[in-house]
Amino acid sequence: MAIDINSEDGQIVRKLIPLGTLPGAQFNVLCENMNIEEVQGGTLFKKGDTDTRLIYLLSGEVTLQAEGLIIEVIAAESEAARFALAHQIPRKIDAVANGTMRFLRLDAGMVNNPAPLVYKEDNSYMVNEEPEDDLNDWMTALLRSPVFQRLPPANLQKVLITLEEVSVDAGETIIKQGDKGDYYYLIKSGHCLVSRKPSPNAKEIKLAQLGKGDAFGEDALLSGAPRNVTIAALTDMVILRLDKYHFLSLIKEPLLKFITPEQMRKALSQGATLLDVRSLDEHRAGHLPGSINAPFFTLRMQLKTFNREQPVIVVCADGKASEAAAFLLLRHRFDALILDGGMNAVTEPKAKKEAAEQKREAAQFVIDDGTETLTSHADGVHLQHQPQQQAVQAPSISASDDLVRALKSENEALRKLNLQLSEKCQNLEIEKEEALKQGRMLRRQMEKLTQVLNKA
């Protein structure tokens, strides 16, 4: 049975994550195809189940347990109920309904890939279609960010669970230009000022004000460069911060998309925009044909000049600055891609090819065979060292080329393997943290059970 978006159930569904991030029209269509299920106690799923459908609690309570020990009891009114219940597949724990329970069972593909936002643009402004419900909920405002809308629900849940809340007094500096990047920040309440000094002795330039739902601090985490701005609180604030490790593993990894030079050429032939975010001098010294130069520090001011209808391919020297630029574009609802390896990925193969051609041209050379010749003169016969020149063909370098190609292929395979292993290590680290958390909960439960048994 369809859900009326204006009903009590509709209001509950609007708060579910990430369903609450959908624009009004798409959310209405989704509700028309939802069916609410109801059970009177019983098991919803067991450890090891592989059904990929996600279960959201609408009313009642659910007990999550492992090996007969209670890990958590989730009530429909709690913050935890905004997420799908124990979403990891296969299931790591059992879920049992406590009495009467109403819930949604939704296809994971639909939840992981919500319909894109609809834009209405003209030459002077842009309007995006958004839900009309109250924006006072900071989390709802945050989840409407294009960055968080693109994250898989599992990553989104881990991010929100991992965030650390920090209070900041008015006038306090949150990040300072020149410092090393360590956290990604989200504003829960209050306002702050973004400023920058072009040089150490220059006057500070005010760039922008940020408020509830805004985020900052990703540039230094992505590029590895020092902080390029200073951000100070204008009012008392509550901010949420995510450490660098979790930002890179939970947000950067699933969000940023890389392409090869071959894929870039195909995308450009289909109308994509090529954006070079290096400095003007670097662009003048050498650039890819058809590229638009927009140095990263000026990119924010040029966003309105780019076309959202086609992908934007970002290129820099080595790919690092491109990551920060692509993140900025994604935040402003562009489809951003990154040329993997940057200009180096394009120029290095060309330089190697030119070096090989020069080597082939130098393959013809002259040698002295050391032959002694007799020369007759009128005043006698003399011994003379007469070098005899002959052309010698250098050995073929095809075998050398084959070796270079083999080494290059092996290096690329090792690079990909290294990336896979790094990703696996990050995932294992996250699972380790979750296991430790579950272990702590089990230990507390065991202590409670011990107390009960001692009193018996």
Q: Token pair of 281, please?
A: 């001098």
CB 260 within 8 A of CB 340: yes
Pairing of strands 312-315, 336-339: parallel
> Which CA distances in Å does 334 have to 254, 309, 314, 366, 374?
16, 8, 11, 60, 82
3-state secondary structure of 405: helix
> Which CA distances in Å does 394 have to 147, 210, 353, 371?
58, 67, 19, 21
Give the full edge-to-edge strand order of the sheet including 183-189.
164-168, 237-243, 183-189, 215-216
Which residue from 133, 139, 179 is spatially nearest to 159, judged by alpha carbons? 139
In the annotation, is 316 catalytic?
Answer: yes
Which residues sit opposite 271 in a β-bridge? none
- φ and ψ at 192, to 5 degrees? -140, 160
Strands (E), 7-48: 36-45
Cα torsion angle, 378, 379, 383, 387, sign:
negative
CB 340 within 8 A of CB 258: yes
Contacts of 277 (CB under 8 A, 6+ apart): 294, 295, 296, 299, 314, 315, 316, 321, 322, 325
Query: Is the peptide bond between 90 and the residue preceding it cis, with omega within 30 degrees of 0?
Result: yes
Contacts of 438 (CB under 8 A, 6+ apart): 66, 71
Catalytic residue (choose from 31, 192, 316, 425): 316
Which of the residues are catalytic?
A: 316
